[in-house]
Structure formats: C-alpha cells, structure tokens
Chains A and B, each alone.
Chain A
Amino acid sequence: MSDSDAIDAVGEDGDTDRRGRPVPTGVPLLELRKLSKHFGAVEALTEVDLQVHAGVVTALVGDNGAGKSVTLKTIAGIHPPDGGLILWEGRPVHIRAPKDAASLGIETVYQDLALCNNLDIVQNMFLGRERSRGIFMDEDSMETAAVETLKSLRTTTVKSVRQTVASLSGGQRQAVAVAKAVMWNSKLVIMDEPTAALGVAQTAMVLAMTRRLAERGLAVIFVSHNFNDVFEVADQIAVLYLGRLVASIPAAHLDRQMVVDLVTTGTTTRAIATSTNQIGA
C-alpha cells in the first residue's frame, strides 16, 4: 500500500525541452488510438489519437462540447468507447467500469471533488478503501498514511487532518481530493477543471501541486478552460475541436493565440516553432 511505489523517476537522462521540462520519450503510459464514441446520432468523439506520458502534464483544452468530458469519462470507464483502442503501457486494455480504471492506476479528480463535507480529511482520503484490523477500522494507520501523502504533496496548509472537509478552503479541498487520488499507486491522475472555482492564491497552490505530481513521475491529464493555467502547468497541450483531436503539441511550441485559434477554429495559421508538432485531422 506504500504510495512511494507510484513514483517512477522520469527524464533522468536530462532530455528536456527549452523550458527545462522533460520531453516525453518511449512507450506512452496511455495511448488512445482512433477512439470514437457516439451517443445516438451524435458523434461525441471521432478517431481521437492521444498519447499521455508518465511525468508529463498533458493539458486537454477545447470549447464546450468539444469532447473533453467524454474523453475523460471514456478513460475513467464511465463511458466505454464505441470504436478504437486504449493502450495502457503499450498493451490494449478494456476499461468498462470505474473500477477497471482504478485497478490500472487511473484516478480522476472530478470538478465537484466528490468529498463528504461531514467527514474529516483522513476519512475522505480512505473512503471506500478503509484499512481494517478485525471488524474495526485501523484509524491510526490510515491517519499516518494520509499525513505522509499530504506532506509529500507539500502544498497542504491544513492544521489538522482530523478536521472536517466542511472547514477547509476551496484550495485545501482540491489538495485533499488530489491526495486521495495519488494514494493508491496511481499512475495517471485526471484533473477536471481543478482551478475553476478557486482564487488566485489557491490556484497557484493547485498548479504547483499538479507540477509536483508530474515530477513524482505520474502522468497528469489537466482539463481546463483557463489558458493561463494551461500554459503555467502543461508540458503538452492537446486540443479538441468538435470531437476531433486537432493538435497535440509541446506547450513550449505554442503561444496563447495559437491555442485560441485551435480551440475556436480547429486550425492555426501561425507558424509552429518546431517540426516535432503533430497537427492532425
């Protein structure tokens, strides 16, 4: 149950891009190949190809209805895909239910955080996976593990892990939700609009925490509407437009105007700074 198992060193060969971030190499942790999903006659996703690497924050951007949520839910097992392949560490996998995703090491931090306000931090972090000794729960060991995980994220400002979530600020709640997600040997953490409801300082805290996850070797999919946050935190930016993936490019090779173009029109006329991009569809 040690959460340190989840930490794989990344980019140790010093292969970094011009902003000092690792360039993804090798077999992607998660790969979507020609993934399609339709609801009745509505094509929600059309042949989406996406690679997500360990140690990398991949931002997923797009307008409302572009397919961000469907993509997340497909990876999280809520909407199984209609066509295409999902590869996990290079092997095809079937993710048909949330527990399939969890057993692979995929954890989702939902926009509404899914925390119980009346339970304390430890109780929330272990909800559904409590440790027991005999018929009673092992509170001490759970508390120790929760404190360790929160410390390892180094962004938490909570006074006591035995205070209820109701007494926490928005950023602290986000931290608890993320800590809950990374406790379980997770390899991929999906964050759905984590900064949408936060103020400036809290947003900075969550973004720093997101970077820290990547530095611990986890893959992060970061869904956001806020391009400031995306450029602040992302290594790779994937743009969805009307259910198609129109770009997946290192953040360093993009500027804000290009992302706006891609999100609103699906293409950009501005020059791409390097040849390693993969504008498609």
Chain B
Amino acid sequence: MAVNADPDRSPAGALEPVGVRDEATPLDATAPAAPDSSVVSLDAYVRAYVARVRSGDSGLLPVVCGLVLISVIFQVSNSHFLGVANLVNWLQQASLYMVMAMGIVFVLLLGEIDLSAGYVGLVGGAIAAEMLSGTHPWPLGLVIPIALLTTAAIGFGQGLLITRLGLPAFVVTLAGLLGWEGVLLLILGTGGTVPINDKYFTDIATGYFTNLTLSWVIVGALVVIAAFVLWRRDNRRRSSGLVAPPVALTVMKIVAIAVAGTALVLLVNANRSILKVAPIRGMPWFVLEVMGLLLIWTLFLGRTRPGRYIYAIGGNKEAARRAGVSTKWIRTMGFTICSVNAGAAGMLIAGQSGGMATSIDGGQLVLYSIAAAVIGGTSLFGGRGKAIHGVLGGLVIAGIVNGMALTGLSAQLQYVITGLVLLVAVTIDAVSHRRADTTV
C-alpha cells in the first residue's frame, strides 16, 4: 500500500522539489524552516526569560529574592544588621562558605555529593598550621601549596574509589567525613589547638589594603575589563548573526556591574571599626580572593572542554561516554577540585581564627556549604549550576547564621531554621527539575 504513497518525490540530486513537499507537511507549515539566529529584541528577551523561569529554569531569581528577604527580616529585628561593620563581617563569614560551596558545585554538577569536604578542608588548614608552628616554621610559599596539594590528593583518592571501584560517592565521602575528622584530631594532638602566629598567613583571611584609592583602582579596573569583554563579545555575536542579547541588555549588564562595584568600594572604604579612635577602612584581601576563584571556576566551567564535560556527565552520563568523554577522569577531577576548594576554605578558617582547633565543626561546615550551593541555584540532580551559585548561596547561609546570632536566637532555633531554609531550596530545585523534564 505505502509503495506509492509518495509519487512526487524527486530523483536524487535535485534538492528543490523536496522543499516544496515539505511545505505541505503540517509541521513545517506552522514554524519557520530554519533556526532564526539573530539578535532578539529586549521585549522578546524578557518574555523568553519569563518563559524560562516558568518552565523551571529560574536561575538567580530565588537566591536574589532570598537575599532581599534576609536583609529585610534581620534589619527589622536588629538595625545593626545592614550597618557597615556587620556587612563586612557578614562577607567575611560568608567567604568560607563561598569558597567551599564553589567546590561543592562541581560535585553537584556531576550528580554526586561530597560530605567529606568540611573535614578535608580542616585537615588542609591543620597541616598549614602545623608547618607554620614550632621553632622552625616552613616558608609560607611552601606551606600553602603543600596544604592545597594534600587536599587535592585526598579528593583525587576518594574520586578514584568512587569512579574506578564504582562505590557510591555518598558512602565514600561519609567515610571521609568520619575518617578525616579522626585525622584532624591526630594532627592537632592532645592540646586540641595549634595557633598560627605568622602574620602573612592570617592576612589571607583578615588582611586589607589600607590605601583607599587602591580599592577604587582595583575595582575600577575589574569593572572596565568586564565591561570591555562583555561589550566586545556581544557586539561580535550580533554582527556575525549569532544568538545574541539586544544592545540594551548588554548595557544593562555593564551598568549593573558598575553599580555593584561602586557599592562594594563604598562599603569597604567606609569605617567598619566599632571604635571611633581606630578606624578600619580598605579592601579586604579575602574579597579579591573569592572574586579570583569565582573568575577561575566560571571560566573553567563555561569556556573549557573539561568544564563542558562536567555538565554533560551531569546531564546524561551515557551520552557523554558515547561522545568519547572519559567520564571516570572527569568525575575524579570534579572530586579533586571540590577538595582543593575545601582546602582553600580551610586556609581561610585557619587565618580567620588564628590557628586550627578541634572545636571547629567540619560536619556543619560541609552541610552549610552544600546548602549554600543548592540555595544558590545548583541542582542536586546534576547538570545545572554555576560557580556564582556557590558565592550567592554562601552569602545567604552566612546571612542567616549572622542575622540569627545578631538577633540572639538560640542555637537550637538556628539549626531548625537553617534546616528549613535548606528544605525550601531543595523543594524549589526538585519542583523546577520536574517541570524542566516534563517540558516537551
């Protein structure tokens, strides 16, 4: 019967008549025949964004709303919350969670989990503290690389166990959570604390540029570079007919970056000392460190092939494997990067508290960091997330911790509320994940 279903099909080689035939099929009659790769109007862009949010890909929207909500709630209950002193304090507390959460983003993108990151990071900090203490401290230029390499090796080893032996990441890193706490206790010894007197090391976490002009110069340079790169890229894409945002959106992005940069400089250049006689002003180093890490991991995830493969594995591991991606190495790399970030966070902790102590809770640290990554917008189901999610989520988690302490909430209530916030974030993630998957 079907033999003669298509009498008007043309001989091979003549392509034109086929197109004529296509226009008769119902599908092609309702839609353009080719992808329309051109500059979209601002109006269309906004509509596309709304559609994306409704289909579950809400991006940074929830975390920004969360930040506004936290600011309002805590400012109402304590007027010091949005004061200069507490804002910088908030940022400093957040820096730990930000750095660690950026690492957690990597394992979450792969659809994995790392529960050991907290204690792995603390082990890194303890190694640094041990090397710097005593009568013959090691040079700082060796201490930091050795501590970071040690945490990298830990992550690599755990990654090998997970990818080569096929053990579940949850179990391997749960073992790590227990095991590395034990190692931390061993390193710190009977005293339970190892103080660090090296001023250069503690400056990693607490140092700042006293020169106020320098704040403007650094941030100004960063804003100009960002604006230049953004403008050039979007312009090139517009002129070569690729998918590109409208000019207005590019301009809005650049303005937003400039405003955020100005606000940051005004904040850090204001006096944040409680004592009037000893003013503290200037750009803290940790702000630049976090921004540097954010830049590195953003470029890595967005622009390099290993970064792309992390997303591919999180989206469809089998597809990535068939495309020739060596999924085991990429996953091992993800665990390694997570541990390196944890190590960096461990340095910040050691710097902030002037040493390492057994009283620092690595379990809470990693759970808050996972919460930060998820609240920031990284999916627990893999394949969706960015480094910036770790940073913004870290800001939210630290804001909650800071605000609750400021309003004098009891520790019991603090845990309950933090747990509820995480639950809300996971619910948003799960609901949007389900929507995104059923959109066909």
Contact = CB atoms under 8 A, between A and B. Distances in A.
Physical interaction between A and B:
yes
Nearest to A212: B18
A174 B316 CA distance: 16
Interface in A151-166: 151, 154-162, 164, 166
Interface string B21-35: 110011110111111
Interface string A1-37: 0000000011110101001111000000000000000
A171 interface: yes
A144 B242 contact: yes
B55 interface: yes
A256 B5 CA distance: 12
Nearest to A170: B440
Contact of A201 (B25, B312, B383): B25
Contacts of A132: 305
A121 to B, nearest CB: 8
A178 interface: no
Given A116-B383, A136-B303, A205 B28 contact: yes
* B interface bracket (residues with beta carbon within 8 Å of A): 35 or more
B304 to A, nearest CB: 6
Contacts of B315: 116-119
* A interface bracket (residues with beta carbon within 8 Å of B): 35 or more
B251 to A, nearest CB: 20
Interface-central residue, A158, A166, A170, A231, by most chain B CB under 10 Å? A166
Contacts of B427: none
Interface string B220-241: 0000000000000000110010
Contacts of B21: 208
B243 to A, nearest CB: 4
Contacts of B3: 19, 231, 251-252, 254-256
B36 A20 contact: no
Contact of A118 (B10, B243, B311, B439): B311
Interface-central residue, A121, A127, A135, A156, by most chain B CB under 10 Å? A127
A115 B319 contact: yes
Given A118-B384, A166-B439, A251-B3, A208 B18 contact: yes
A172 to B, nearest CB: 10
A117 B437 contact: yes
A137 B308 contact: yes
Contacts of B408: none
A137 B32 contact: no
B11 interface: yes
Interface of B: 1-7, 9-13, 15, 18-19, 21-22, 25-28, 30-37, 40, 55, 57, 236-237, 240, 242-243, 299, 303-305, 308, 311-312, 314-316, 318-320, 322-325, 383-384, 436-437, 439-440
Given A10-B13, A19-B6, A212-B18, 14 more contacts: A11-B13, A114-B319, A116-B312, A117-B315, A123-B308, A129-B324, A137-B308, A154-B33, A157-B32, A164-B57, A170-B440, A204-B27, A211-B18, A215-B18
Give 8 nearest A-B pairs by CB, closest first. Answer: A128-B323, A116-B315, A231-B2, A157-B31, A118-B383, A118-B315, A114-B319, A128-B324
